[in-house]
Amino acid sequence: MIAEDEDLNCRKASGLLSLACERPLDANELRALKVHLDECLMCTNFEEQLRFLHRCAEVFRTG
């Protein structure tokens, strides 16, 4: 659970990015994640890489 005004570090942000692959994030989670990603290039890279892993799996499945 993310508190209303909670600031995320990369450890928590990466966890939320992964969690977002499994379920929709709630409003607090989305807000906190957006604030973090606006300032953190490393986690933005991680977010893009999660998308790429998903794409890899899709291509792997379909050949």
DSSP of 5-43, one letter per residue? TPPP-HHHHHHHHHHTTTS---HHHHHHHHHHHHH-HHH
Q: Does 26 bind another protein (CB under 8 A)?
A: no
* Binding-site size, another protein (CB under 8 A): 28
Block residue for tokens 């790429």: 52
> From residue 28 to residue 47, what is the string marking binding to another protein with x (rule CB under 8 A)?
-------------xxx-xx-
Which of residues 1, 3, 5, 22 is near another protein by CB under 8 A? Answer: 22
Q: Which is nearer to another protein, 26 or 49 (CB)?
A: 49
Rounded to whole angstroms, the Cα distance separating 43 from 55 reads 18
